[in-house]
Amino acid sequence: MANRTVSTAEAIHGTNPQFLIDKIFRQRIYNSLYWKEHCFGLTVTGVMEKAVDLQAIGREYGESHRPTEFACLLLKLLQLQPDQPMLDALIDQEDFKYLRALAVFYYRLTQPSVDIYTKLEPLYRDYRKLRAFDSGSMQITYMDQLVDSLLTENIVFLITLPHLTRRMTLEDAGEIAPRISPLDGDDSDSDSDSSASE
Amino acid sequence: MSTNAYGESKKTEGFRRNWDNEAYAKKARDREQQNRLADEDEERRRKGLKPRTRGARPTEARELLQSRKQAVDLEGMVGKVQIVQASTAASGQPGFYCKVCDVTVKDSLSYLDHINGKNHQRVLNRSMKVASETVADVLAKLQSLRELKRRQQQQTKDEYSFQEQVNQQQQAERQKRDKRREARRRQRQAKARGVGSKSPSPDADADDMGSAMGFASFGSTKK
């Protein structure tokens, strides 16, 4: 199972889930040292073990555009296709932010639009910092920023995301309730908080 | 006993047919093996090799694929001198030698390819399938990772506690000072005793000599 998708995996968006990573980049991952040395024979728990030690998110790094460990583990998850409850467990945990970031990215790639909105929008409240390799340099980003770009952009870290139905369309179709921003409810609370802290 | 329309005795335990699972499993195994052999022979023929004329191999269940627990030692031979033999044996050739398969490959990436490969895993009696896991496994792993993280944080806290460091330093200094004070006191006592009893000691000799020559003692006056 070096590079093959597990036999029990279901097609996602009509194809092999690994094809969600474009071919050129996928081949680069298959040829990378991290993939060959550390990602061989991993199960979902193995991926978790590695993801906990991640130092950054992103696509590639360095002059020679080496795939990051994050990208390798993302492809590994696409191979293994963890099921819905597993993904919930990975996203709901709060102790390991890079594990969460990885699971969130995987979720955006593979799940239907309604699920994506309902699962990822609560993560707008996660303000933790993340290191990110982006366009050749290391930058600081935040979890909510990552979630926002996953929900609003088509290409994140040069990985083309599958089409996400617009929220308004889903709301009109009655498939999803209008989003309630966490800021809406506690307007007075935040005012009193700020006055108390001043 | 009741009979059906064909004059056979009715089965009372159920309407389903009884399958001989063992026999069909064996049949399926044999067919699979035949197919595999045929595929292999086909591939060999394409490469221009002779088809493999093997008897029926025992189809034992292979283990699941395991991930490596420790890192691959790729740099272990750096800086070492190896005598390359003129023989054609794989073990004598320069490069990365796989003991399991008796194969030498020339670079690290090929070596990784080899040990990740199907042939190598087959020799180790492993299939190329990984274990399938459930949510329970994932939750248990999360718990153990949390535990590990907590323990690591505790350790680092021990290492880098500033107050702890200061306390230790102060303690050490106090001990040093006490020791020095004690030593000085003992010396003073010994001196007092020496004046009283005039015990012939090498120190006392040296002192006599020193006083004769006009100085107290050799060495530093610093105690």
Task: Give Cα separations from B210 to B204, B206, B207, B215, B219 (angstroms).
Answer: 10, 6, 5, 5, 11
pLDDT score recorded for residue A192: 47
What is the arithmetic mean of pLDDT over A36-64?
A: 90
Average pLDDT, chain A: 87
Integer Cα distance of A70 and A55 in angstroms: 9
pLDDT score recorded for residue A193: 47
CB distance B129–A40 less than 8 Å? no
The nearest CA of chain A is from the CA of B151 a distance in Å of 14
What is the arithmetic mean of pLDDT over A102-114?
A: 93
Which of B65, B71, B135 is opposite residue A37, by nearest beta carbon? B71
Q: Is the pLDDT at B216 greater than 90, yes or no? A: no
What is the arithmetic mean of pLDDT over B114-131?
A: 87
CA angle B24, B43, A11 (to 5 degrees): 65
CA angle B15, B21, B24 (to 5 degrees): 115
B113 touches chain A (CB under 8 A): yes
pLDDT score recorded for residue B219: 60
Token output for B176: 């040093």
Integer Cα distance of B90 and B88 in angstroms: 6
Task: Find the closest chain B residue to A30 by CA distance.
Answer: B113
Instruction: Indicate the range of A177-186, B127-136, B181-190 predicted with least confidence.
Output: A177-186
pLDDT score recorded for residue A135: 77
pTM: predicted TM-score of the whole model, two decimal places: 0.68
Q: Which residues pair with A67 in a beta bridge?
A: A60
Between residues A126 and B210, the one the model is more confident about: A126
Which of A41, A44, A90 is opposite residue B133, by nearest beta carbon? A44
Length of chain A: 198
Task: Find the closest chain B residue to A33 by CA distance.
Answer: B109
Residues A132 and A141 sit within 8 Å (Cβ to Cβ): yes
Task: Find the closest chain A residue to B140 by CA distance.
Answer: A45
pLDDT score recorded for residue B93: 79
What is the arithmetic mean of pLDDT over A134-155?
A: 90
Q: What percent of chain B has pLDDT over 70?
A: 78
pLDDT score recorded for residue B74: 86
Secondary structure of chain B in HEC code, one letter for each residue = CCECCCCCECCCCCCCCCCCHHHHHHHHHHHHHHHHHHHHHHHHHHHCCCCCCCCCCCCCCCEEECCCCCCCCCCCCCCCCCCCCCCCCHHHCCCEEECCCCEEECCHHHHHHHHCCHHHHHHCCEEEEECCCCHHHHHHHHHHHHHHHHHHHHHHHHHHCHHHHHHHHHHHHHHHHHHHHHHHHHHHHHHHHHHHHCCCCHHHHHHHHHHHHCCCCCCCCCC
The nearest CA of chain B is from the CA of A8 a distance in Å of 9
Packed helices B135-160 and A44-52: angle between N→C axes, nearest 10 degrees? 20
Instruction: Indicate the range of A45-59, A91-105, B7-21 predicted with least confidence.
Output: B7-21
What is the arithmetic mean of pLDDT over B81-88?
A: 77
Average pLDDT, chain B: 80
Residues of chain B contacting residue A42, judged by C-beta atoms under 8 Å apart:
67, 130
Which of B66, B109, B134 is opposite residue A36, by nearest beta carbon? B109
Q: Is the pLDDT at B222 greater than 70, yes or no? A: no
Q: Which residues pair with A58 in a beta bridge?
A: A133
Between residues A39 and B42, the one the model is more confident about: A39
User: Around Cβ A86, how many Cβ atoms within 10 Å?
Assistant: 23
In which element (H, E) is residue A129 found? Answer: strand A129-134
Secondary structure of A77-104 in HEC code, one letter for each residue = HHHHCCCHHHHHHHHHCCCCHHHHHHHH
Which of B129, B131, B145 is opposite residue A52, by nearest beta carbon? B145
pLDDT score recorded for residue B14: 66
Q: Is the pLDDT at A185 greater than 80, yes or no? A: no
Residues of chain B contacting residue A54, judged by C-beta atoms under 8 Å apart:
none
**Pairs across A and B, CB distance < 8 A:** 82
Residues B52 and B40 sit within 8 Å (Cβ to Cβ): yes
CB distance B132–A48 less than 8 Å? no
Strands A155-156 and A159-160, how do they pair?
Answer: antiparallel
What is the arithmetic mean of pLDDT over B91-119?
A: 87
What is the arithmetic mean of pLDDT over B200-219?
A: 57
What is the arithmetic mean of pLDDT over B55-82?
A: 77
User: Around Cβ B133, how many Cβ atoms within 10 Å?
Assistant: 18
DSSP at A181: -
Between residues A188 and B76, the one the model is more confident about: B76
pLDDT grade for A130, boundaries at 50, 70 and 90: very high
pLDDT score recorded for residue B223: 53
Burial class (CB in 10 A: 0-12, 13-18, 19+), B67: middle
ipTM of the complex: 0.83
pLDDT score recorded for residue A162: 92
B137 touches chain A (CB under 8 A): yes
Between residues A182 and B10, the one the model is more confident about: A182
Q: Is the pLDDT at B95 greater than 70, yes or no? A: yes
In DSSP notation, A49-66 reads HHHHT---EESEETTTTE
pLDDT score recorded for residue A62: 85
User: Around Cβ A75, how many Cβ atoms within 10 Å?
Assistant: 23
Integer Cα distance of B2 and B12 in angstroms: 9
Q: Is the pLDDT at B37 greater than 80, yes or no? A: yes
Which of B116, B117, B141 is opposite residue A48, by nearest beta carbon? B141
Query: Dihedral angle at the C-alpha atoms of A71, A76, A77, A80, nearest 10 degrees?
Result: 170
Which residue shows structure tokens 């323990």?
B151
What is the arithmetic mean of pLDDT over A98-118?
A: 93
Residues of chain B contacting residue A76, judged by C-beta atoms under 8 Å apart:
none
Between residues B162 and A35, the one the model is more confident about: A35
Half-sphere exposure at residue A131, Cβ-oriented, CA atoms within 13 angstroms: 13
pLDDT score recorded for residue A110: 92
CB distance A89–B145 less than 8 Å? no
Alpha carbon of residue B127 to chain centroid: 23
Residue B53's identity, in one-letter code, is T
User: What are B152-206's pLDDT values in tens digits?
Assistant: 888 876 667 788 889 999 999 999 999 999 999 999 999 998 865 554 555 555 5
Residue A84: closest CA among A180, A3, A156, A12: A12
What is the arithmetic mean of pLDDT over A66-83?
A: 93
pLDDT score recorded for residue A97: 92
CB distance B67–A43 less than 8 Å? yes
Question: Which residues, 6 or more positions from B39, have their beta carbon under 8 angstroms from its beta carbon?
Answer: none
CB distance A90–B138 less than 8 Å? yes
pLDDT score recorded for residue B23: 93
Q: Is the pLDDT at A179 greater than 60, yes or no? A: yes
